Amino acid sequence: MSPELRRIGEKARSEPRLVFTSLYHHICDVDHLRACFEALPADRAVGIDGISKEQYGANLDENIKELSSRLRNMGYRPQPKRRTYIPKPGSVKGRPLAISCFEDKLVELAIKRVLEPIYEVQFEDSSYGYRPGRSQHQCLDDLGRTIQQSRINTIVEADIRSFFNTVDHAWMLKFLGHRIGDPRIIRLIGCLLKGGILEDGLVQASEEGTPQGSILSPLLSNIYLHYVLDLWFSRRVRPQCRGEAYYFRFADDFVAGFQYRQEAEQFQTALGERLGQFKLRLAEEKTRCLAFGRFARSNAQKQGQKPGEFTFLGFTHYCGKSKTGHFKVKRRTSRKKLGASLRAFRHWARGARHKQTKAEMLARAKARVQGHLNYYAITDNARSCSRYVYHATRILRQWLNRKSQRQAYNWDEYNHVLRAIHWPRVQIRIDLSPFRRAEAC
């Protein structure tokens, strides 16, 4: 971070109510734009103009100066984004992504770098998604510790329907105006939001939503939900509760925990009304209250039932016990995510056998399995990870052997190859056990 942007962050921290009225010149600065160019990865998908980082950088100085001039003169106009889809569990069409042109990516990153220091000091501790120094594992760790060490007895599991596609632009710009008083930045962000989407040869106007895939989208979504949910919970919901109440959000996924079920049900009812005020909708079929906590298992067993479970950040959370018999929050890979991961692995292997050598397939498969374990290999989840590795190993052998029947691997040969490439083994990579961590201290 440059000294100028660092000073902006310090100013925002020392004066929480300050409205910044002169920021636009930082976005237009040639050195800032050049730093953004260096920071952008070179292997990303291209937009509708087909220009890559390498092509843009062939005449970098002239391109950067020309872009800076258009920004200063308010002559910059973003191009429509290219719509593409990636696999999404439970969806035939997939998750929509919007791919910006390279120059638009430069501008988006320049805006993000200017605004992020201002909002990072303002965001609540309950927000974890797409923030520097914060991750899904940290959110899971804090959630598990809170449930385990507090008086939480009820969890509210909620879902916002198509959040990124339904963000209201008028509310978004109004929220930005609380801290950003430079009208040129507000106008530029408005142009980016309304730049349009190119799909099937037609450009569709963007009347609402902040497109997923955009560099600026995660920050804008955090700002929107900061005002819609985070501040509402910390300043209105929690102070009105007689018992303990906690809230955790990662991007548009969030859960809340309450000591008393009545207060959890009141929150669930108020939540739909709160979202409706800001043009958002609650997915009623995915929103529920469930008993969860240190007494949930015993209470459910008395009624002849199983204790409740909830899914958050790809993990199913359930009430378990430690080796000494104490209550412990445990997690396993959600069935939906596990199935989707294996289907994606099979789809890749089936296509890769025509395009890659066996050595390339083995190396790429190893990287895919390693990536899965880097996220899901957490405390108490070894069984689900072993199931994934077991099935992925067999899927890979199946499609390797279909490359050529004459050179098919038998199991002894295949296992020898896996040992030679150091095939990933299931071991805990992220320790989320508060007991073990306490002993280490």
- 415 and 347 in a common domain: yes
- Look up tokens 């007895």; give the residue: 153
- 351 and 268 in a common domain: no
pLDDT of residue 322: 85
- Identify whether 145 is part of a domain: no
- Identify whether 382 is part of a domain: yes
Could you tell me which of 337, 312, 314 has the C-alpha nearest to residue 147?
A: 312
pLDDT of residue 289: 93
Query: What type of residue is 250?
Result: F
- 376 and 328 in a common domain: no
- 291 and 382 in a common domain: no
Q: Which percentage of the chain shows pLDDT scores above 90? A: 72
- Identify whether 136 is part of a domain: no
- Identify whether 147 is part of a domain: no
CA 247 to chain centre: 17
Q: How far apart are the C-alpha atoms of 191 and 195, rounded to whole Å?
A: 6
Could you tell me which of 273, 268, 257, 252 has the C-alpha nearest to residue 159?
A: 252
pLDDT of residue 416: 95
Q: How many CB atoms lie within 10 A of CB 119?
A: 20
Q: What is the dihedral of CA 347, 350, 352, 357, to 10 degrees?
A: 150
* Residue ranges of E strands in 143-273: 154-159, 197-199, 202-204, 245-250, 253-258
What's the mean pLDDT when you consider all of the chain? 90
Query: What residues contact 243, with CB distance under 8 A and at least 6 apart?
Result: 151, 258, 259, 260, 263
Q: What is the DSSP letter of 48?
A: T
pLDDT tens sequence across 295-341: 887 787 777 788 889 999 999 999 988 888 888 999 999 999 999 99
Q: How far apart are the C-alpha atoms of 231 and 239, rounded to whole Å?
A: 12
Query: What type of residue is 340?
Result: A
- Identify whether 325 is part of a domain: yes
Q: Is the pLDDT of residue 182 over 80?
A: yes
- 340 and 312 in a common domain: no
Per the CB < 8 A criterion, the answer to whether 307 and 296 are in contact is: yes
Per the CB < 8 A criterion, the answer to whether 291 and 153 are in contact is: yes
**End-to-end Cα spacing for the chain:** 33
Average pLDDT in the 217-223 region? 95
Q: How far apart are the C-alpha atoms of 44 and 42, rounded to whole Å?
A: 6
- 340 and 323 in a common domain: no
**Domain extent for 350:** 335-421
Q: Is the pLDDT of residue 90 over 80?
A: no
Q: Which of 286, 302, 332 is the last residue of a domain?
A: 332
Stretch among 133-147, 170-184, 247-261, 394-408 having the lowest mean pLDDT: 394-408
For residue 11, give Cα distances in angstroms to 8, 113, 245, 342, 397: 5, 15, 32, 48, 58
pLDDT of residue 435: 60
